[in-house]
Structure 1
Amino acid sequence: MNKTCLSKKPNFARCFREMPQRDDQEHVLVLRGIWNIAMTQPDDPEFPSLGIFECMGKLIQRAVKDRQWLLRDQNIYIPYYAAHIIGSYTMNKVQFAEKAVNSSVVLPLIELLRGKISWVEQRVAVRSLGHLASHATTFEAIAEHEVEIIKLAMEISCNCIKTVYRRFVGVKDSKRVKYHSDLLTTGLGDLEIENRKAEEWASQLQCWSLYLLNCFACKGRSLNLICNKHFLKELCGMWGGLANCASPGGIGCIRTLCDFKAGRESLANSKEVMEILCNTSRSSDDWQYMAIDCLLLLLKDTDTRYIVIHTAASSLADLVELRSLKERKKVGEAITQALLQDYHKIKYGDLKLSSQDAERALKETWDLMVERRKREELMSEEELKERKDLVGMLKQEGNKKFWSGQIEKAVTTYTKALDLCPLKMRKERIVLYSNRGQSYLLLHNAEAVISDTTRALCLSSTASPHRKSLWRRAQAYDMKGLAKESLMDCLMFIHGRMKAEKTKHAKIPYFAARMIHKQMNATWLFSTVAKSKNKDDAGVEKPRVGEHGEDLCQVTEEIKERNGEW
């Protein structure tokens, strides 16, 4: 149903006023038509000016309060479309958001957020509330319910993957709630499309919950709630995934918390947070720059520096020659400054770190970025040429030892070559680091592989990263069981290979396809919960009583009893 068709109805404003009180089987068709318009023309002022928000709010309220009405005809679809319409119209225009708040949509949306109907309605409710919270003039209307909204958003983000799997994906096709299936596929599509869409929606529900939390966190609100130790641990496992790659997921929320002292202190004391930041900082993840930003902010804060430096130093030391990242320039120099800001105290014995690895990383950074640069600036052209020739010989010697199976001796030879190789010889150093990384790979030293290949990738162009290093690092991350990081490197490796071949018929190597298949399975959104045995025979989560005394499965169970009607 298009807008032209809808506009033919006389006095549409009166229709919006009367719709919540009337029982009409055409309500769903009308709402679906408005939903289509709201999705395609979210900035059109016509319907917002005619009372659409008040109408949608009242429809949601009726659905929550009047269970019999909700389960009659096709009314079960109404709250989903109503909340979606609110979210679409309030996404961009501040004046629409203000009108929505003044039309009392907040409380009905919170009712859906509480899980009064199902996870499907929770998804569109959290989207709408996130849009309202993102506008400065409507934020306070959401903040009136701050504690409850934050607790609900935290709970949803932690449990929604499990909920969607146990209520839908893990349920046999014949036992699924039909209106959920219809909304997921708009009535068109097979089981595979349905499952794929459910995964996308589950990811969106999680990411939009984090976005709502972020609206409070970026203002420094309720950090004591958000910085809960258990939640921060859960946050580390939340990412948009390939289905929702535009969202930074948990790391976006972590980045926001780093802007506040209370947030930094909580993050610094979380082992899981530090691990995810270090891993992401040395990966092909789109949000690598956020992880680096977080580590730098933690290092620059004197109250958190010596809590995190023993973990962060080794990872950041591999990135000191990174020239640019996204739109950021001189990233490596910023990292070097953060690492060495008080190195003189360590160098002259005034400060002792608890971690020898951290001290070693700082010393290597000082030698590479300060001492070695000074020495090479004083070298003559003749000496540089001699070194270049010697490095070439050592590289060939290392290659021979590698191919003859003398892997440890090859590592030693590559190390000598790297120590002698002038810093300006970036291409030669890329190959040496990558070759040494390959040697470490055969020695099953995954951490050393990641370190060397990351250094090689920092020296290469971000537009065209060194492919062999990507593949070797992908294997190292696989050895460590870090499937996401391995997958990202695999995908970058394939992208670079196909780009280099410049043909539409470029083939993905079998070894890479096999690795991608493995990591796709490992990073599947529902992989963890699918292995869980804490399910009943029907594959549905057992009913539980929520914080508000509501049986969160009640509506779903009633719908199942009437499944033939929808």
Structure 2
Amino acid sequence: MDFHKKKQKIPITDTGITTKDTCTNPCCFFCLMKEPNSSTRSERIANCFKEMPFVDDQGHVLVLSGLWNVAMTQPDDPEFPSLGIFKSEFAEKAVESGVIPPLMELLRGKMSWVEQRVAVRALGHLASYESTFIPLAAHEQELVNLAMDLASTCIEVVYVKFVEVKDKSERLNYHCDLLTRGIGGVDMENKKAEEWASQLQCWSLYLLNCFAIKERSIGLMCKNEFLKDLCEMWGGLVNHTSPCGVGLIRILCYSEIGRKKIAESQEVIEKLCNLSRSTDDWQYMGIDCLLLLLNDPNTRHKVIKIASSCLADLVEIRKLGGKTNVGESIARTLLLDFKQIKKAKIKDDRVKRALEEMWDLKVERRRKERNLSTEKFEERRVLVRLIKQQGNERFWVGKIEEALLKYTEGLEVCPLRLRKERIVLYSNRAQCCLLLSEPDKAISDTTRALSLSNPVNSHGKSLWRRSQAYDMKGLAKESLMDCLMFIKVCFKSKQEKIPYYAARMITKQMDSTWLFATARSKTSKGRGDEVQQSEGLATIIEEPLIRKCGSGRRKVERARER
């Protein structure tokens, strides 16, 4: 039966009776769900559930899948009393009936990764309730270790034991049937395996979150290798609802032990900085983690050396992740002891430069511009426009360094209130940095432009330029996120076609950030297979950067090659 086709043919009358063009099954669950009368709908759904065990119909898989989704999003929905297993009283009954030992056996790998997926999800539900957390905590150390191991290894296991198996006859039949519900071939199986592997990892992290939020087993979770693994767990593009690794890192940052261990790992801090300067949905979590570490006197000095430059680019963000005055919070945290640090003569030049620049931006320039007359303000506006034009002229003829200096001059005199003008100047300067092969400076300038945009991260050219800069540094995930946001901005501006260079960038980065990319690389090296190298930035570059005039074009092309 093709339930998708049936679902498209469900015109329901006011009385709840289907027309002659609808599906002919009187117990069709999807038809019953469209019944407008609540009492009639409840009665028919109850009858549908009663008849379900006596009917051998593969379509029930779709029904049960739909019920599962409802249970996950609306566990207290009174429409489905049978879904009460997700309520605390039913969880308590499950524990009393001895469900924990067999679930632990499945989690240990008694069967396969498919059963582990079910077990870790069920254990996560039990850990969500205070009443059932206590009996679960009796297995705390083993449970936490198993969940950590599962989160770190499940992607590779699913790839090696299922996705990499090309011969369909060698795959476990019941795995294939569970994944595709008997519909679709190898491609569908691989797609669902990717989705389930991501769920397995995310649900393992959810189980760990249940312990971490109670500040239990923090020491176990703060092992350096596991913290590094967490930074790579992002769920891929198949999981949009879970914060994955950074979600657990943020919870760990709320504990003293967690902050201490995280601050000791330079790699983790750098990953949080990259996340903070990205268009990832969880960007605000990366910022939260850094602020929690900086607000702790015991970890501040370890983190500020790496995080100061990154956070300085974000101090003009207004709204992000449902929070307001994000940039002001960042500035207050970074400048917390600026006067004392200044007197003590900051040894690290990078930190000193970032803090002094921020002090000038948030304090000194504000104070000076507060008393700026309307006449002076308009003079500045005209001057900025002139300087920007001079910078553009130098850029078009290939004088990239001179153009960069002009954009810098424009930023120095541009009033802070002229946010749009500053966005353009930062973005143009970033383009110069790209052509001069200075990706770090390009990332800094584009991030400042995107922080000024309204809403945040909505300036198309800056998104594309930062995507290129991240690509130059080999940061595929960050490059992909920016490129996807760039495409979104293009569609909002009613641009009908995706720019070819953006499409090529997405193709390149999708391959690099595929959920199984690391596992594929490991197995390829293990077999001695030749690993293909990704194409470089030079092959994915925006064409209309310059005028179509001979000498200028050649000069810019030469500048690109430097």
* TM > 0.5: yes
Counterpart in 2 of 1:171?
Answer: 165
Over 3 Å counting, the alpha-carbon distance change for 1:535 and 1:160 in structure 2 is: farther
Counterpart in 1 of 2:394?
Answer: 401
Counterpart in 2 of 1:385?
Answer: 378
5 Å-filtered alignment, 1:20-59, equals 35=64, 39=68, 42=71
Q: Which runs of 5+ in 1 are unaligned?
A: 16-25, 50-87, 540-566
Counterpart in 2 of 1:527?
Answer: 517
- In terms of mean alpha carbon deviation, does 268-277 or 305-314 score higher? 268-277
Which of 341, 349, 352 is the equivalent residue of 1:359? 352
CA distance in 2, matches of 1:326, 1:47: 33
CA distance in 2, matches of 1:397, 1:30: 68
Counterpart in 1 of 2:21?
Answer: none
Counterpart in 2 of 1:471?
Answer: 464
Figure out how many residues of one structure are paired with residues of the other and give that number: 480
Counterpart in 2 of 1:249?
Answer: 244
Which of 347, 364, 373 is the equivalent residue of 2:366? 373
Which of 228, 231, 235 is the equivalent residue of 1:240? 235
Counterpart in 1 of 2:24?
Answer: none
Counterpart in 1 of 2:47?
Answer: 4
The structural deviation recorded for 1:497 is 0.7
- 1:322 partner letter: I
Counterpart in 2 of 1:210?
Answer: 205
Counterpart in 2 of 1:564?
Answer: none
Counterpart in 1 of 2:104?
Answer: 110
SS state at 2:297 partner: coil
5 Å-filtered alignment, 1:486-505, equals 486-501=479-494
Given the alignment of the two structures, is residue 511 of structure 1 paired with residue 504 of structure 2, yes or no?
A: no
Contact 1:90 1:132 in 2 (8 A): no
Which of 452, 461, 470 is the equivalent residue of 1:459? 452
The structural deviation recorded for 1:32 is 6.2
Contact 1:464 1:496 in 2 (8 A): no
Contact 1:90 1:128 in 2 (8 A): no
CA distance in 1, matches of 2:115, 2:315: 47
Contact 1:391 1:417 in 2 (8 A): yes
**Cα deviation per residue 1:254-291 (whole Å; 9 max; x = unaligned)?**
00001111100111011121011100001000000000
TM-score by length of 1: 0.80
Given the alignment of the two structures, is residue 130 of structure 1 paired with residue 124 of structure 2, yes or no?
A: yes
The structural deviation recorded for 1:187 is 0.7
Which of 295, 306, 313 is the equivalent residue of 2:308? 313
Contact 2:450 2:457 in 1 (8 A): no
**Cα deviation per residue 1:169-199 (whole Å; 9 max; x = unaligned)?**
0012321111111100011012111111101
Q: Which runs of 5+ in 2 are unaligned?
A: 1-26, 30-45, 530-562
Over 3 Å counting, the alpha-carbon distance change for 1:94 and 1:460 in structure 2 is: same
Contact 1:166 1:535 in 2 (8 A): no
The structural deviation recorded for 1:36 is 5.2
Given the alignment of the two structures, is residue 329 of structure 1 paired with residue 358 of structure 2, yes or no?
A: no
Which of 281, 286, 291 is the equivalent residue of 1:291? 286
**Cα deviation per residue 1:284-329 (whole Å; 9 max; x = unaligned)?**
0000000000101100000000000000000000000001102100
CA distance in 1, matches of 2:51, 2:293: 60
Over 3 Å counting, the alpha-carbon distance change for 1:112 and 1:452 in structure 2 is: same
CA distance in 2, matches of 1:446, 1:213: 37
Given the alignment of the two structures, is residue 139 of structure 1 paired with residue 129 of structure 2, yes or no?
A: no
Counterpart in 2 of 1:82?
Answer: none
- 2:507 partner letter: H
TM-score by length of 2: 0.81
5 Å-filtered alignment, 1:190-201, equals 190-201=185-196
Contact 2:222 2:261 in 1 (8 A): yes
Contact 1:207 1:249 in 2 (8 A): yes
Contact 1:467 1:497 in 2 (8 A): yes
SS state at 1:213 partner: helix
**Cα deviation per residue 1:26-46 (whole Å; 9 max; x = unaligned)?**
999899699558526645899
Counterpart in 2 of 1:60?
Answer: none
Over 3 Å counting, the alpha-carbon distance change for 1:497 and 1:377 in structure 2 is: same
- 1:420 partner letter: V
Counterpart in 2 of 1:437?
Answer: 430
CA distance in 2, matches of 1:521, 1:33: 31
Contact 1:310 1:354 in 2 (8 A): no
Over 3 Å counting, the alpha-carbon distance change for 1:463 and 1:409 in structure 2 is: closer
CA distance in 1, matches of 2:231, 2:244: 9
Query: How high is the sequence identity, in percent, across the aligned residues?
Result: 57
CA distance in 2, matches of 1:207, 1:455: 32
Contact 1:438 1:449 in 2 (8 A): yes
Counterpart in 2 of 1:264?
Answer: 259
The structural deviation recorded for 1:144 is 1.1
Contact 1:90 1:131 in 2 (8 A): no
- In terms of mean alpha carbon deviation, does 459-468 or 221-230 score higher? 459-468
Over 3 Å counting, the alpha-carbon distance change for 1:527 and 1:37 in structure 2 is: closer
Over 3 Å counting, the alpha-carbon distance change for 1:307 and 1:206 in structure 2 is: same
SS state at 2:493 partner: helix
- 1:4 partner letter: N
- 1:241 partner letter: G
How large is the RMSD of aligned CA atoms in angstroms?
Answer: 2.6
The structural deviation recorded for 1:211 is 0.7
- 2:50 partner letter: S
Over 3 Å counting, the alpha-carbon distance change for 1:30 and 1:99 in structure 2 is: farther
SS state at 2:298 partner: coil
- 1:39 partner letter: W
Over 3 Å counting, the alpha-carbon distance change for 1:103 and 1:428 in structure 2 is: same
